[in-house]
Amino acid sequence: MDAEQCVTISLALQRYLRAVERFEAASKDFNESCQTIRQTLPRECRFVANIMHQHYLVTSDIEGNFEVESVDTI
């Protein structure tokens, strides 16, 4: 490899490794958020939540599974 290829590969590798770090942090945050919702939501519920002027339909079942869907209008 010539010097230009080495620099290009090095920059691409650095970008990849930074992305991996951000992805792992986001994945951890997502998993922790899901666990918190599972612990907080009542079982078998369905309601509309207004969060930061947007509406979401929240549904949970007896097993702790949940779904959050964006709702355009109520």
Cα gap 17→64, rounded to integer Å: 35
For 22-65, how does the pLDDT look when each residue is reduced to its tens digit (9 = 90+)? Answer: 999 999 999 999 999 999 999 999 999 999 999 999 999 999 99
Q: Which of 16, 2, 67 is nearest to 58 (CA)?
A: 67
Answer whether residue 1 shows pLDDT above 90. no
pLDDT at residue number 28: 98
Cα gap 8→14, rounded to integer Å: 10
pLDDT at residue number 74: 76
Calculate the alpha carbon distances from 74 to 52, 56, 70 in Å.
15, 9, 11
- Could you tell me the residue ranges of all domains in the chain? 1-40, 42-74
Cα gap 27→35, rounded to integer Å: 12
